């Protein structure tokens, strides 16, 4: 078992292997389809970030450098004092971000991507090069995971809608499992290959 605090150093990432249990601590950012698309179109693919987008860009560069992004569309509650509370914080299926993830990892120096279901070859390659890892969060445990979210610090792009906004959250002992590591190992690929072989055996191919 590993206990890591964001920002995470390269050597800490290299020490992780597929199958390791990790408890994350520190500040992470949520981001789903709209956030990833926005980051790629407004920050990564442009020659220069516009003056309007510059404050958010600078903030994300700070938060994500050595940090983690969580594929999550939370259920939130706005409290009487104007602050927010996470009621449910389950992971979103990550493969939807495959078209963006490698670029986001490299551009922002991400060390962790959190979600469920795993990701593809481009993300695995980026994990090796960066280095970074994919952390699998348990699906169906949204309320339990929300207990690890100790504070909602702020939210960006709320105009995208609550699930698609970029929530900046402080987490404590956030439970995840490494399923894609920086050494090129993907548990998801292994299971897929084993399942394919078993299916071929069952149908006699």
Q: How far apart are CA 24 and CA 68, in angstroms?
A: 9
Nearest to 169 by CA among 68, 7, 29: 29
3-state secondary structure of 99: helix
Q: How far apart are CA 130 and CA 112, in angstroms?
A: 10
36 catalytic residue (yes or no): yes
Nearest to 178 by CA among 32, 11, 13, 7: 13
Structure tokens that stand for 101 in this block? 């993830």
Residue tagged active-site, from 36, 71, 156, 188: 36
* Contacting residues for 117 by C-beta, under 8 A, at least 6 apart: 93, 94, 95, 136, 139, 188
Are the C-beta atoms of 72 and 32 separated by less than 8 Å? yes
* Contacting residues for 111 by C-beta, under 8 A, at least 6 apart: 6, 7, 8, 10, 13, 66, 67, 68, 130, 131, 132, 133
Which residues carry out catalysis?
Answer: 36
């Amino acid at each position: 078992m590993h206990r890591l605090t964001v920002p995470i150093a390269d050597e800490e990432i290299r020490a992780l292997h597929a199958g390791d249990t990790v408890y994350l601590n520190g500040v992470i950012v949520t981001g789903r389809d709209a956030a990833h698309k926005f980051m790629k179109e407004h920050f990564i693919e442009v020659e220069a970030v516009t003056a309007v987008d510059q404050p958010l860009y600078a903030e994300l560069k700070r938060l994500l450098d050595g940090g983690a992004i969580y594929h999550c569309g939370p259920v939130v509650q706005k409290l009487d004092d104007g602050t927010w509370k996470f009621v449910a914080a389950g992971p979103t299926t990550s493969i939807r971000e495959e078209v963006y993830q490698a670029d986001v990892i490299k551009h922002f120096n991400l060390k962790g991507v959190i979600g469920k279901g795993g990701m593809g070859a481009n993300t695995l390659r980026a994990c090796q090069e960066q280095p970074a890892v994919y952390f699998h969060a348990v699906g169906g445990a949204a309320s339990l995971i929300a207990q690890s979210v100790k504070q909602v610090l702020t939210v960006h792009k709320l105009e995208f809608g609550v699930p698609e906004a970029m929530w900046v959250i402080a987490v404590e002992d956030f439970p995840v499992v490494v399923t894609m590591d920086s050494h090129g190992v993907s548990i998801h690929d292994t299971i897929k290959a084993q399942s394919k072989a078993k299916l071929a055996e069952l149908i006699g191919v």
